[in-house]
């Protein structure tokens, strides 16, 4: 069985499915045919029997070892699972709504939970949790998952789950997980970016893949093409093993570029730096020959915890990176929480549109103490190497001024205490919101450099959520509107005498290198694993010829023609 999703991190992994239960109770809706009704009802009934058996086992154990109160709890669970109204409700939704059993169960559970929420009595209100817990058990039996954590994975595991957080992904390398596949997500989600940083093959946006796999199934994931093959036959397996070998050899061959400069065939020197998510990536930055760190995302210090990191903790962490990368520069980006990176200590969890909400610089300006603490830590680290500071999500000049006002305050404070820092530290901004892209001429007067965040710029320009698997096909870096904005940013930045970098995922995809050079881009910042691929591409390209081709491409009004033309160019050069 072959499934297609979005390629999130290149490479091929061959192993066994490790189905990870999602913390959220969330099923994907699948429309079924009338003929499929019986099968879905059967699946639901089998899951009910399995849940009852499980609960009976637990009740027996509880009777021996626990108090009466606990035994009563499990008896109540048995009562819920056996409730005829509940069972009828699910079956009726499958039959009338022609939906899969998971989705019907979710709908009924949500309806029942709403009833509990309205109850005033606290004790009875809390019984809603029991209903949810029982439904989760039934769901688990239905999809064949067991409650597991990533720490329990056997050696050849490929994780299949509804969604992963960027923090889950960080731990994967330590757990020797070969790769992962998720129902949710797009290729520029932070989970995908993290997978590339960890060099773990991944496919995301597979919609309901978790309902099609069983724990222990043999599986191949191709993170380069975005393909998942479940229970492959001998020929397919042999074929993918050969492809896997070719991929490994190609990666090794790239090593010849480590010490070579990123220079075009007509002698234009280009800078290729690295993006990092966590300090552990420094080794990879150095081994791939990157010219510094063009984007140091600092969210890792804030995620997966309930309290804010102290100034000292931040300072030590930044200083360590800065010293190791010296004399090359490190661009430290102030924290970009919100969107798909949620921190539990600030009020960003309940937003309806988190990507349009209190994110990044907006959140920092709303919490100046948190912001100042980070600025102090970055400034102090600047005394130990070559540091530049960068603000994310700047939407206009007032926001930049507001951030700089806080920075001035912090600088004054450090000076008054005679604490060392680089007084001439360069301060740049991310250009990732169309309002900033259209006013670069104004912003560039007050920023030392610009860095284009295409991951967000594309989502905001095209109104396509970067983590929503249902609109991935509309997420098009080559859309004429995007190319025009890029041209405007690069030209306006250069006219103002500022250097312009790109640190979004578009910079790390070799199929766009020629067109980006043609747009005049001279600084690339990409995930370490892509540094050599981009260097190789730059060394094949003629800077002047690329400009001509790009001008020609920009005159195309149709997106399809444009994409076709670029793909044709690509097949000629590769
Ligand atoms: C971007 O938006 O392109 C970017 C580099 O920032 P992030 O992916 O962290 O939002
Ligand atoms: Mg961004």
Angle at 96 between CA 94 and CA 101, to 5 degrees: 5
pLDDT in tens, 141-198: 887 765 566 767 788 999 999 888 766 777 777 777 999 999 988 888 888 888 998 8
pLDDT of residue 571: 57
Q: Which ligand is nearest to the CA of 189?
A: 1
Question: Does 29 fall in a domain?
Answer: no
For position 310, which CATH number holds? 3.20.20.60
Facing residues of 218 across strands? 16
Give the Cα separation of 515 and 424 in Å (integer). Answer: 34
From 115, 143, 171, give the residue that closes a domain. 143
Q: Are 559 and 500 contacting, i.e. CB atoms less than 8 angstroms apart?
A: no
pLDDT of residue 139: 87
Could you say which of 162, 190, 288, 479 is catalytic? 190
Regarding whether 230 and 299 lie in a shared domain, the answer is: no
Report the separation in Å between the CA atom of 504 and the middle of ligand 1, taken as the mean of its atom positions: 5
Residue partners of 155: CB distance under 8 A and separation at least 6: 176
Q: Whose CA is nearest to atom 4 of ligand 1?
A: 453
Q: At 16, which helix (H) or strand (E)? A: strand 12-19
Based on the structure, what is the number of domains in the chain?
3
pLDDT of residue 67: 61
* Residue 190 annotated in active site: yes
Question: What radius of gyration, in Å, describes the C-alpha atoms of the chain?
Answer: 26
Angle at 359 between CA 358 and CA 365, to 5 degrees: 75
504 lines ligand 1 (CB under 6 A): yes
Question: Does 257 fall in a domain?
Answer: no
Regarding whether 217 and 283 lie in a shared domain, the answer is: no
Residue partners of 354: CB distance under 8 A and separation at least 6: 338, 339, 340, 342, 348
For position 128, which CATH number holds? 1.10.274.10
pLDDT of residue 349: 52
Phi, psi for residue 266 in degrees, rounded to 5: -100, 20
Question: Does 498 fall in a domain?
Answer: yes
Q: Is 450 in a helix, a strand, or coil?
A: strand
Regarding whether 153 and 139 lie in a shared domain, the answer is: no
Regarding whether 209 and 266 lie in a shared domain, the answer is: no
* Residue 473 annotated in active site: no
Q: Are 17 and 158 contacting, i.e. CB atoms less than 8 angstroms apart?
A: yes
Question: Does 256 fall in a domain?
Answer: no
535 lines ligand 1 (CB under 6 A): no
Regarding whether 124 and 14 lie in a shared domain, the answer is: no
Residue 243, domain extent: 2-20+149-251
Regarding whether 528 and 385 lie in a shared domain, the answer is: yes
503 lines ligand 1 (CB under 6 A): yes
Low-confidence residues in the chain, pLDDT < 50: 574
pLDDT of residue 306: 67
394 lines ligand 1 (CB under 6 A): no
Report the separation in Å between the CA atom of 457 and the middle of ligand 2, taken as the mean of its atom positions: 8
Regarding whether 426 and 281 lie in a shared domain, the answer is: yes
User: Do the bridges between strand 2-4 and strand 12-19 make them parallel or antiparallel, or are there none, so unpaired?
Assistant: unpaired
Angle at 365 between CA 360 and CA 367, to 5 degrees: 95
DSSP state of 220: E
pLDDT of residue 512: 93
From 189, 221, 251, give the residue that closes a domain. 251
Q: Whose CA is nearest to atom 8 of ligand 1?
A: 455
| The two structure tokens encoding residue 233 | 């036959």
Could you say which of 162, 288, 364, 503 is catalytic? 503
Ligand 1 atom showing the smallest separation from residue 456 Cα: 2
Regarding whether 208 and 101 lie in a shared domain, the answer is: no
pLDDT in tens, 28-61: 778 899 999 999 999 999 999 999 998 888 777 6
Give the Cα separation of 86 and 269 in Å (integer). Answer: 68
From 120, 143, 166, give the residue that closes a domain. 143
Report the separation in Å between the CA atom of 294 and the middle of ligand 2, taken as the mean of its atom positions: 13
Question: Does 322 fall in a domain?
Answer: yes
Regarding whether 274 and 223 lie in a shared domain, the answer is: no
Regarding whether 125 and 58 lie in a shared domain, the answer is: yes
For position 201, which CATH number holds? 3.50.30.10
Question: Does 385 fall in a domain?
Answer: yes
pLDDT of residue 129: 72
Ligand 1 atom showing the smallest separation from residue 504 Cα: 3
Give the Cα separation of 367 and 472 in Å (integer). Answer: 33
Regarding whether 234 and 320 lie in a shared domain, the answer is: no
Question: Does 76 fall in a domain?
Answer: yes
Report the separation in Å between the CA atom of 497 and the middle of ligand 1, taken as the mean of its atom positions: 24
Phi, psi for residue 281 in degrees, rounded to 5: -80, -5
432 lines ligand 1 (CB under 6 A): yes
Regarding whether 135 and 155 lie in a shared domain, the answer is: no
Specify burial of residue 242 (Cβ count, 10 A radius: 0-12, 13-18, 19+): exposed
Question: Does 28 fall in a domain?
Answer: no
Report the separation in Å between the CA atom of 166 and the middle of ligand 1, taken as the mean of its atom positions: 13
């Amino acid at each position: 069985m072959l499934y297609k999703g979005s390629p999130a991190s290149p490479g091929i992994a061959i192993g066994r499915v490790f189905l990870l239960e999602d913390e959220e109770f969330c099923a994907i809706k699948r429309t079924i045919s009338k003929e499929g009704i019986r099968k879905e009802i059967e699946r639901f009934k089998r899951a009910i029997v399995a849940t009852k058996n499980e609960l009976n086992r637990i009740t027996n154990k509880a009777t021996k070892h626990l108090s009466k109160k606990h035994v009563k709890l499990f008896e109540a669970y048995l009562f819920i699972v056996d409730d005829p109204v509940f069972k009828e409700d699910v079956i009726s939704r499958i039959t009338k709504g022609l939906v899969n059993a998971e989705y019907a169960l979710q709908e009924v559970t949500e309806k029942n939970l709403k009833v509990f929420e309205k109850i005033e009595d606290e004790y009875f209100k809390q019984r809603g949790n029991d209903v949810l817990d029982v439904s989760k058990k039934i769901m688990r039996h239905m999809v064949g998952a067991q409650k597991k954590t990533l720490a329990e994975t056997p050696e050849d595991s490929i994780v299949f789950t509804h969604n992963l957080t960027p923090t889950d992904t960080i731990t994967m390398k330590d757990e020797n997980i070969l790769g992962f596949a998720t129902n949710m997500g797009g290729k520029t989600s932070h989970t995908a970016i993290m997978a590339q940083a960890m060099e773990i093959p991944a496919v995301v946006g597979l919609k309901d893949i978790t309902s099609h796999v069983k724990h222990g199934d043999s599986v191949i994931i191709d993170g380069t093409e975005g393909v998942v093959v479940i229970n492959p036959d001998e020929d397919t397996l042999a074929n993918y093993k050969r492809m896997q070998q070719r991929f490994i050899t190609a990666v090794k061959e790239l090593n010849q570029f480590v010490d070579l400069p990123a220079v075009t065939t007509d002698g234009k020197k280009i800078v290729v730096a690295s993006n990092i998510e966590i300090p552990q990536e420094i080794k990879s930055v150095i081994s791939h020959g990157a010219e510094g760190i063009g984007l140091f995302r600092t969210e890792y210090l804030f995620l997966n915890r309930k309290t804010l990191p102290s100034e000292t903790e931040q300072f030590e962490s930044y200083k360590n990176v800065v010293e190791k990368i010296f004399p090359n520069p490190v661009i430290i980006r102030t924290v970009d929480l919100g969107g798909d990176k949620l921190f539990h200590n600030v009020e960003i969890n309940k937003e309806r549109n988190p990507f349009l909400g209190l994110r990044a610089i907006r959140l920092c300006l709303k919490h100046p103490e948190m912001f100042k603490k980070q600025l102090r830590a970055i400034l102090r680290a600047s005394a130990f190497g070559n540091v530049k500071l960068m603000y994310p999500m700047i939407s206009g000049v007032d926001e930049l001024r507001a951030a700089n006002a806080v920075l001035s305050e912090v600088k004054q404070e450090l000076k008054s205490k005679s604490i060392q820092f680089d007084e001439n530290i360069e301060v740049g901004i991310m250009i990732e919101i169309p309002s900033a892209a259209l006013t670069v001429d104004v912003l560039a007067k007050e920023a030392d450099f610009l860095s284009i965040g295409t991951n967000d710029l594309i989502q905001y320009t095209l109104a396509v959520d970067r983590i929503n698997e249902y609109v991935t096909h509309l997420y098009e870096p080559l859309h004429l509107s995007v190319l025009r904005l890029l041209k405007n940013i690069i030209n306006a930045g250069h006219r103002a005498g500022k250097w312009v970098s790109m640190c979004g995922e578009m910079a790390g995809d070799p199929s766009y290198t020629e067109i980006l050079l043609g747009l005049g881009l001279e600084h690339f910042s990409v995930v370490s694993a892509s540094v050599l691929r981009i260097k190789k591409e730059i060394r094949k390209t003629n800077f002047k010829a690329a400009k001509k081709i790009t001008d020609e491409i920009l005159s195309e009004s149709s997106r399809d023609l444009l994409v076709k033309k670029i793909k044709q160019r690509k097949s000629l050069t590769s």
